[in-house]
């Protein structure tokens, strides 16, 4: 854990503020959006002027979520009392909104990615938590704020998605206990599961098929690598959000321990990596300015796709040669 503040102290700071802007990382996943949406609604219920500030509208598999207080309006609050980044702890994870973050009279950070180190005036970063949503759950309990159904559903989305529906190695007994408490808050589990895991579109299926056709097995079958280019997306009128589940398909192949999925975006290549059991991917991500966890990490490479593919394949080959 990296922290200069307790959750009780964080809670007191939030209670003393009137205006609060919450910052997830760009292209927020279920944990980032779920954590932010839960915190924002809880603060709104306490009478705070709170907003979740995004780079773009929510699309894809998370559209069903509670995003009433999400906005792309950078001027949603003028000179907020608190700016808090959630599920990220580096400005480069929300660079388009970094200037707004600096406007906060007090800057907070809550995260479960420890690769970046300390960030903000007050920070609470615990890599032992399965999801940032678990930390937000504990924060709301510390603040004695009621976790009503909508808040509980947002937290459940965060925990479920970041644990791979409770299949990843970061899942603990405490994770299941918190999930049980969220059930007690009245969540509609069937609704959440259908929206998260049983609503794959035809477009998504076609994109996954195209990406899996590009897959390569390297390092004697212990690593799987594939990619998607802007041209591939354009051909199917698809978006990057339609490809998010591919990394799991790659990792789930029998014999594969590490999967890497490369995505072309805005002239750069975003790399997502996952490990199954004994492998680790954080060191590769950190080497190229990224971060994450031992089993799930990523980075951005400022180079063409062919060069990025060659680089990542070389790194994975070297990784297996060194262990």
E-strand ranges in 65-146 read 70-71, 82-86, 106-111, 122-125
Average pLDDT of the segment spanning 262-281:
93
- The pair of three-digit structure tokens given for residue 59, joined into one six-digit string: 């699309």
- The three-state secondary structure class of 294 is coil
Task: List the CATH code of the domain at 2-197.
Answer: 3.90.1640.10
Handedness of CA 88, 89, 94, 98 (dihedral sign): positive
Between 219 and 67, name the one with better pLDDT.
219
State if pTM tops 0.85: yes
Question: pLDDT by residue (tens digit) across 138-193?
Answer: 999 999 999 999 999 999 999 999 999 999 889 999 999 999 999 999 999 999 99
Question: Does residue 116 surpass a pLDDT of 70?
Answer: no
Between 244 and 12, name the one with better pLDDT.
12
Question: Does residue 221 surpass a pLDDT of 70?
Answer: yes
Share of the chain above pLDDT 90, in %: 79
Between 321 and 111, name the one with better pLDDT.
111
Task: List the CATH code of the domain at 202-322.
Answer: 3.10.310.30
- The pair of three-digit structure tokens given for residue 98, joined into one six-digit string: 């970094």
Average pLDDT of the segment spanning 206-216:
96
Q: CATH 3.10.310.30 spans which residues of the chain?
A: 202-322
pLDDT of residue 115: 67
- Give one word for 39, left, alpha or beta, with left for phi > 0 and alpha for psi -120 to 50: alpha
Handedness of CA 97, 34, 85, 112 (dihedral sign): negative
Average pLDDT of the segment spanning 279-299:
90
Question: Does residue 262 surpass a pLDDT of 90?
Answer: yes
């Amino acid at each position: 854990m990296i922290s200069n503040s307790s959750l009780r102290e964080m809670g007191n700071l939030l209670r003393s503020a009137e205006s609060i802007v919450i910052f997830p990382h760009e292209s927020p996943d279920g944990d980032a959006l779920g954590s932010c949406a839960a915190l924002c609604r809880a603060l709104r219920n306490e009478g705070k002027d709170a907003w979740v500030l995004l780079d773009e509208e929510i699309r894809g598999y998370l559209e069903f979520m509670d995003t009433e207080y999400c906005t792309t309006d950078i001027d949603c609050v003028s000179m907020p009392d608190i700016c808090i980044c959630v599920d990220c702890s580096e400005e480069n994870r929300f660079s388009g909104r970094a200037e707004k973050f600096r406007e906060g009279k007090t800057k907070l950070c809550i995260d479960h990615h420890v690769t970046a180190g300390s960030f903000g005036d007050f920070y609470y970063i615990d890599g032992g938590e399965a999801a940032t949503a678990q930390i937000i759950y504990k924060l709301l309990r510390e603040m004695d704020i009621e976790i009503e159904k909508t808040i509980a559903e947002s937290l459940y989305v965060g925990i479920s998605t970041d644990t791979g529906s409770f299949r990843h190695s970061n899942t603990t007994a405490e994770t299941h206990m918190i999930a049980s408490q969220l059930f007690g808050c009245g969540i509609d589990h069937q609704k959440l599961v259908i929206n998260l895991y049983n609503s794959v579109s035809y477009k998504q299926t076609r994109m996954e098929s195209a990406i899996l056709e590009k897959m390569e097995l390297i390092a004697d079958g212990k690593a799987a690598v594939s990619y998607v280019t802007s041209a591939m997306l354009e051909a199917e009128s698809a978006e990057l959000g339609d490809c998010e589940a591919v990394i799991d398909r790659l990792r789930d192949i029998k014999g594969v321990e590490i999967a890497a999925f490369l995505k072309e975006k805005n002239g750069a290549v975003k790399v997502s990596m996952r490990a199954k059991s004994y492998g680790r991917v954080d060191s590769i991500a950190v080497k190229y300015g990224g971060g994450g966890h031992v089993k799930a990490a990523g980075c951005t490479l400022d180079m063409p796709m062919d060069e990025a593919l060659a680089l990542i394949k070389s790194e994975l080959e070297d990784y297996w040669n060194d262990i």
